[in-house]
């Protein structure tokens, strides 16, 4: 009897502690779906287009050297093969270096974009919580299932696009 009373009392207290208005939000999705993110991606594409072209050209050069080495196996002198291997290693090393450098620059620019956008996103989320009266907003990625009507990510994107 006492045990049943404790269980019923515990359930009643937990029901009172439950939030009445809950929403789920994917912060990353909201940021990446915004118009600002689209514009930023286009700006990055333009900004790094020459380096990207250079990387593509180097990749083609590496493949060409590699094909030449494969075709010449057994028919070319050891000296020529060694020269081609050195040429391949040099081109491949340059390709890797440039690729890593480009990735590093892009990552730094993306981090700067996210840092700049975070205050705007936080303001949008705070305003939405206050105007809509949410008791709890959970990270969508941390949930197993969320009803689509509880997902406020599209609404946050819409509000973010207006800022």
Per-residue pLDDT of the chain (163 residues; tens, 9 = 90+): 545 433 444 444 444 456 589 999 999 999 999 999 999 999 999 999 999 999 999 999 989 988 888 877 767 777 877 888 888 899 999 999 999 999 999 999 999 998 999 999 999 999 999 999 999 999 999 999 999 999 999 999 999 999 7
pTM for this predicted structure: 0.67
Residue numbers of the domain that contains 61: 2-162
Specify the 3-state DSSP secondary structure of 103.
helix
77: phi > 0 → left, psi -120 to 50 → alpha, else beta; which? beta
Give residues with Cβ within 8 angstroms of 25, minimum separation 6: 125, 137, 138, 139, 140, 151, 152, 153, 156
CATH of the domain at 126: 3.30.910.20
Strand partners, 151: 24
| Number of domains making up the chain | 1
């Amino acid at each position: 009897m006492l045990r049943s009373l404790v269980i019923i009392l515990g359930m009643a207290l937990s029901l009172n502690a439950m939030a009445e208005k809950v929403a789920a939000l994917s912060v990353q999705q909201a940021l990446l779906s915004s118009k600002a993110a689209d514009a930023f991606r286009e700006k990055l594409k333009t900004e790094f287009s020459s380096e990207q072209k250079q990387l593509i050209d180097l990749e083609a050069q590496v493949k060409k050297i590699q094909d030449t080495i494969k075709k010449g196996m057994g028919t070319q002198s050891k000296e020529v093969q060694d020269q081609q291997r050195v040429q391949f290693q040099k081109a491949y090393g340059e390709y890797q270096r440039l690729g890593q450098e480009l990735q590093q620059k892009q990552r730094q620019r993306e981090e700067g974009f996210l840092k700049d956008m975070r205050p705007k996103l936080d303001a949008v989320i705070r305003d939405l919580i206050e105007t809509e009266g949410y008791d709890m907003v959970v990270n969508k990625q941390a949930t197993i299932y969320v009803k689509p009507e509880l997902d406020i990510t599209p609404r946050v994107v819409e509000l973010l696009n207006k800022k």
